[in-house]
Structure 1
């Protein structure tokens, strides 16, 4: 059994090396050498090279390990001084210009590797994924080369109607992981992969019409993100779109709901990052600063982009607080320079920062200064509460005006989420009533039944509003520092 395991391990190791070599040949444009390798080794489409590894990465990590262990760089090749060996080595064939790609020199704009037969293109024009190659593209020679749009999709801005809905023609998805260009080190490529895990790739099924009682905040978000896409000629110079908006208010008032809706409504035209402390904070010295910089680099690469940070006070607390760690200060300083630094705010790097917090008074004043709009997400008014209940329980519109007025009076200090919980509890009462009617078959199908006023009234009595004291503190802070609509 041990012999069989060793034999299988040897086979897998050699097979993986061959796949890595074939992938490297394709990246370097050595198409003839790659084809010869494929023909001789019979590689199939059963396996593909993972995104987080290549020969260049392995080589750099080996050099780092050797330098750390022996204090010097390793020697990989040496001059061959044997004439006999030199005469025995055949001359290398000339590489065709069409299949060869020159390695880009370190410049401000990297070059993306185009498919065979296509010219090289600037990465800011393509906005694609670079050389994100798989083995199926290497070994399947019967398939015609992919067009440039298939490998590196061009992010054409989606057409958005006046009510914020998307038209039928939308841009190609930009959601796959980014393979940064070859001038980046393996460390920065790895950090970019970590950051790209926060990309929202799916439709969250949330629309503006479903959000009730937050009209002023919705209007400002559309003004900051959607309207500049519709009328870019109007938002120039002093009227550039808002770049930083802070949403503050008690828990449950709808701050995260607004972010979810903005992500759903703009997912075909804007790249959305849901950045969290788990992604941006690292235990390794200096890596947190690199992560926040990589996040902004990737967001600028895929501009227009939205970076949403929930519970922003956890990342941007006051720097003068007692016990503030040096690593936390360095991270915040780097973050501040990226939000409003020398290279921020250019026309071709539109990055919108959206943050939310329950305790804005804990945020460092330097961060507050950079937020152009600080919006209080207040408790819903009577009309807003009525709209929320009607959205969750359609039968609400059939109730009498007296019953509706009573519900508005009972929920005067409720947040939107507390009203949702009450409506859910009332719906669960309907299910409990149907299940509790004696023995039921195993394949019981619950009949949809409308929620009654008495059930919702009983559900509301079970919930105590928890934000009454906190909302007064938010209003006081908003009078001093807020500048929302």
Structure 2
């Protein structure tokens, strides 16, 4: 590098630091200090700081890099031993004159030693996950490791046996700062981490009706091994791959959404989609699926959920199969169950759902240890769904409920929901008509005011759309699925 290049690099580095300082002062609301800095350094509006960088981000990434390399947090500032606290100068006392009374000021005096109040640790952890890229992502983890500073607050989550499990939040090292990965790999990691689910979807197992068998299996695969890890070793390792199949609207995606909500504090959940995993560039699709598994192992225990799995894992012996699609499926198969997979410490759970299981390649079906039919709800399940959506139905007599259960035979859970929604919409239509152009009496329909005749009329307007698929799924499940 020539002398001119060195000189220009030094100038650009100092200029960038000054712009970062001005930007940080603006973020902190110190406009007067920012203006003083601009006046002294002669900064102009010709340049501005990029959207994806600031001093706070640089500081966090440096601390993560230092922690990863040296195993401890860096010391940025230290106490000045030569500093002595000086008392504030005494104010001269003036004698009041005449009957004039002096009013004492209400402004509180400033502290003698100015200090910056640090934010709370739990708020810092929540704010770390505000970005969608791996370079700015921090995932809560199970316990404190290597003396990493973690917040004191604990998330207490009740479990079904009456006990509560406390999950400690811990900031994991950032993948982008890991020295063992290339820059290309880190770019792919940024892409797959867009599918990370970081918000609570507010679904609980108690809200899912008529799917007891599937719920029991998902708890056995994911939730129970976290509570009793000493029991799931060797041959009794947890199920690693589960396939949910059934007609549309039976609740397959609802189960995945509930599993994500129930395990949000202790498990990393990836909602992988075709838009993320499929690329038009040659070889990138295989790299993306491999990076997805690498990131899932890095943040283990993890769940990879793929909806409409038949679109990614169709049969490879079809006439119109493209060579790029075959390479992607071969790589996927190797990651699910290959030479370097299946280790005891690999805590990556694959959950897939499909409406067309007979379209999936047999090699993928072999790797799914459990293939569960999510069937239409039974009579008790349909009654529970109606009671949950319309609490007023608990007051109806047994003959009316039996009639509704009989009318909803072969209905999926979503079709029953649509019927209950249609009955509520009837109330809104009646209120709008009765208002005669004026404002309705209430803003929305109360589910408790839905009448039996309205729900019956709504059910008569809806016909089960998946009647033929129900028998086809049951026949396929008898041949290839699991009956427990």
| TM-score, length basis structure 1 | 0.71
How far apart, in 2, do the equivalents of 1:346 and 1:42 lie?
Answer: 60
Alignment match, 1:299: 296
Contact 2:19 2:49 in 1 (8 A): no
186-195 or 472-481, larger mean C-alpha shift: 186-195
Contact 1:246 1:371 in 2 (8 A): yes
398-407 or 161-170, larger mean C-alpha shift: 161-170
Contact 1:155 1:172 in 2 (8 A): yes
Work out whether 1:373 is the aligned partner of 2:331.
no
How far apart, in 2, do the equivalents of 1:289 and 1:481 lie?
Answer: 28
Larger Rg: 2
How far apart, in 2, do the equivalents of 1:20 and 1:342 lie?
Answer: 51
The residue matched to 1:356 in structure 2 has which SS?
strand
Contact 2:269 2:302 in 1 (8 A): yes
Aligned length: 384
Contact 1:19 1:48 in 2 (8 A): no
1:17 offset after TM fit, Å?
A: 3.9
How far apart, in 1, do the equivalents of 2:139 and 2:212 lie?
Answer: 35
C-alpha change, 1:114 and 1:165, in structure 2 (3 Å) is farther
C-alpha change, 1:222 and 1:432, in structure 2 (3 Å) is same
Alignment match, 2:226: 229
Work out whether 1:156 is the aligned partner of 2:142.
yes
How far apart, in 2, do the equivalents of 1:117 and 1:258 lie?
Answer: 46
C-alpha change, 1:306 and 1:366, in structure 2 (3 Å) is same
Which ranges of 4 or more aligned residues in structure 1 deviate by more than 6 Å? Answer: 13-16, 19-22, 38-43, 99-104, 143-154, 173-177
The residue matched to 1:233 in structure 2 has which SS?
helix
Work out whether 1:473 is the aligned partner of 2:459.
no
Partner of residue 254 from structure 1, selected from 235, 251, 275: 251
C-alpha change, 1:403 and 1:144, in structure 2 (3 Å) is closer
How far apart, in 2, do the equivalents of 1:253 and 1:222 lie?
Answer: 19
Work out whether 1:435 is the aligned partner of 2:393.
no
How far apart, in 1, do the equivalents of 2:237 and 2:375 lie?
Answer: 27
Partner of residue 327 from structure 1, selected from 300, 324, 327: 324
1:188 offset after TM fit, Å?
A: 1.7
How far apart, in 1, do the equivalents of 2:343 and 2:18 lie?
Answer: 42
How far apart, in 2, do the equivalents of 1:295 and 1:305 lie?
Answer: 11
How far apart, in 1, do the equivalents of 2:335 and 2:379 lie?
Answer: 41
164-173 or 472-481, larger mean C-alpha shift: 164-173
1:349-401 deviation line (CA, Å, top 9, x unaligned):
20000000000000000000000000000111000000000010000110111
Matches within 5 A, 1:380-419: 380-419=377-416
Contact 1:115 1:147 in 2 (8 A): no
Work out whether 1:116 is the aligned partner of 2:74.
yes
Structure 1 residue ranges without an equivalent (≥5): 1-12, 23-37, 55-98, 105-109, 119-140
Alignment match, 1:456: 455
1:170 offset after TM fit, Å?
A: 3.0
1:4-37 deviation line (CA, Å, top 9, x unaligned):
xxxxxxxxx9898447999xxxxxxxxxxxxxxx
How far apart, in 1, do the equivalents of 2:300 and 2:162 lie?
Answer: 20
How far apart, in 1, do the equivalents of 2:119 and 2:396 lie?
Answer: 64
How far apart, in 1, do the equivalents of 2:73 and 2:172 lie?
Answer: 20
How far apart, in 1, do the equivalents of 2:297 and 2:313 lie?
Answer: 22
Contact 2:66 2:72 in 1 (8 A): no
Matches within 5 A, 1:57-456: 111=69, 115-117=73-75, 155-156=141-142, 161-163=158-160, 167=164, 169-172=166-169, 179-442=176-439, 445-446=442-443, 448=446, 450-456=449-455
C-alpha change, 1:418 and 1:100, in structure 2 (3 Å) is closer
1:320 offset after TM fit, Å?
A: 0.8
1:176 offset after TM fit, Å?
A: 11
C-alpha change, 1:454 and 1:176, in structure 2 (3 Å) is farther
1:182 offset after TM fit, Å?
A: 3.7
1:181 offset after TM fit, Å?
A: 1.6
C-alpha change, 1:399 and 1:48, in structure 2 (3 Å) is farther
| TM-score, length basis structure 2 | 0.71
Alignment match, 1:482: 481
1:154 offset after TM fit, Å?
A: 6.2
1:189 offset after TM fit, Å?
A: 1.6
Contact 2:192 2:291 in 1 (8 A): yes
1:43-63 deviation line (CA, Å, top 9, x unaligned):
9xxx87655899xxxxxxxxx
Structure 2 residue ranges without an equivalent (≥5): 1-11, 22-36, 56-61, 77-114, 129-137, 144-154
1:466 offset after TM fit, Å?
A: 1.0
